[in-house]
Amino acid sequence: MNYVYLLRCADHTLYCGWTTDLVARVQAHNNGRGAKYTRSRLPVELVYYEECASRHDAMSREWHIKRMTREEKNDLIEGRLTDT
């Protein structure tokens, strides 16, 4: 299974990524082995994820989420934004 996910960093910023192993990826971020962006913003918390059928779908969804405004991302996290 492929996943796209949002993390809330310690400085309250959001980070979006994709992975095939959600638990291991969040642990990697929190162990300082994740993205360069999150290394200086630890700890991170998983606040949202979606399952995707393929790697392509996950990468495409990540691309779309990264282009959302912070408000739209927060709406997605809170379940107020569904058709994206």
Summarised one tens digit per residue, pLDDT across range 28-40 is 999 999 999 999 9
Model confidence at 82, in pLDDT bands (50, 70, 90)?
low
Predicted confidence (pLDDT) at residue 84 exceeds the cutoff of 60: no
Residue 80 is predicted with a pLDDT of 82
Name which of 32, 36, 38 is nearest 6 in CA terms: 38
Per-residue pLDDT, 35: 94
CATH-assigned architecture of domain 2-78: 3-Layer(aba) Sandwich (3.40)
**Across residues 58-78, what is the average pLDDT?**
97
Q: Domain ranges in the chain?
A: 2-78
What confidence score (pLDDT) does residue 26 get?
98
